[in-house]
Amino acid sequence: MAHKLEELPIHEEVRKFWAAVHAILETPALRRNRKLCEQIETANDSIDANMKEGFEQPTDVAFAKFVFVAKGSTEEVIARTQQAHRKHLISDDQLASIVQLGVPLGKMMGGFIKYLNATGFTDRGRHSVAPKPPRPGNSRRR
């Protein structure tokens, strides 16, 4: 069990994607389109932030919800870099690098969400108090 987000293999992929997107944000033509550049930057920063916030949740199901938001932000970055490419603000190679990193990352996140939802851990080992679901068959009748 990971005790830090950085111990998860998916986190390294998130960091690679973030760095590739950040490098593209330095493109002068894209910087001139301030609104689009800021939208890409905000969505890119949201990916890592949601992963970190989710990791601090007491249950795997709660963590999965934040990974789902991060997955959506990943797709937003890809869509907005495609817009930037259609507007001739970034090159074919720049777009390809984002798509080549982003699409597999999105799939990895999808698999991780399925895993987290399936495990059902209510105490991820880092919290002394975590909500516990009711046990089936232990209902009290009055």
What are the tens digits of pLDDT across the range 116-131? 999 877 766 555 544 5
Residue 135 has a pLDDT of 65
Rounded to an integer, what distance in angstroms lies between the CA atom of residue 26 and that of residue 37? Answer: 9
Please check the confidence at residue 86 and state whether its pLDDT lies above 80: yes
Q: Is the pLDDT of residue 140 over 80?
A: no
Least confident stretch, 14-23, 68-77, 108-117, 127-136 = 127-136
- Per-residue confidence band for 102, with pLDDT thresholds at 50, 70 and 90: very high
Q: What is the architecture, at CATH level 2, of domain 7-117?
A: Up-down Bundle (1.20)
Beta carbons of 96 and 81 less than 8 angstroms apart? no
Select from 16, 121, 138 the least CA-distant residue to 77: 16
With both helix axes pointing from N to C terminus, report the angle between 60-86 and 92-119 in degrees, rounded to the nearest 10. Answer: 170
How many CB atoms are located within 10 Å of the residue 32 CB?
10
- Give the start-to-end residue ranges of the domains of the chain: 7-117
For the beta carbon of residue 118, count every other beta carbon within 10 angstroms: 10
Quote the CA–CA distance of 142 and 90 in Å, as a whole number: 68
Whether residue 139 is predicted with pLDDT greater than 70 in this model: the reply is no
Q: Is the pLDDT of residue 138 over 90?
A: no
Average pLDDT of the chain?
Answer: 90
pLDDT digits (tens, 9 = 90+) for 9-50: 999 999 999 999 999 999 999 999 999 999 999 999 999 999
Q: pLDDT: is 33 or 141 the higher one?
A: 33
Q: Give the per-residue pLDDT at 2.
A: 76
